[in-house]
Chains A and B, each alone.
Chain A
Amino acid sequence: GNSVTQMEGPVTLSEEAFLTINCTYTATGYPSLFWYVQYPGEGLQLLLKATKADDKGSNKGFEATYRKETTSFHLEKGSVQVSDSAVYFCALNGGSNYKLTFGKGTLLTVNP
Chain B
Amino acid sequence: GAGVSQTPSNKVTEKGKYVELRCDPISGHTALYWYRQSLGQGPEFLIYFQGTGAADDSGLPNDRFFAVRPEGSVSTLKIQRTERGDSAVYLCASSLGTDNSPLHFGNGTRLTVT
Enumerate chain A interface residues (CB-CB to B < 8 A): 4, 32, 41-46, 51, 89, 91, 96-105
Contacts and interface: CB of A to CB of B under 8 A. Distances in A.
B1 to A, nearest CB: 14
A104 B44 CA distance: 10
Contacts of B99: 97
Given A89-B42, A98-B48, A104-B40, A42 B107 contact: yes
Contacts of B41: 104-105
A interface, over-half SS: loop
B interface, over-half SS: loop
Nearest to A32: B100
A4 B107 contact: no
A98 B43 contact: no
Count class of interface residues, chain B: 20 to 34
Q: Which 9 A-B pairs have the closest CB atoms?
A: A102-B42, A44-B105, A43-B105, A98-B48, A43-B107, A46-B102, A102-B43, A99-B45, A104-B42
A38 B13 CA distance: 26
A30 B100 CA distance: 14
B93 to A, nearest CB: 8
Interface of B: 3-4, 31, 33, 35, 40-45, 48, 56, 59, 91, 93, 95, 99-108
B100 A98 contact: no
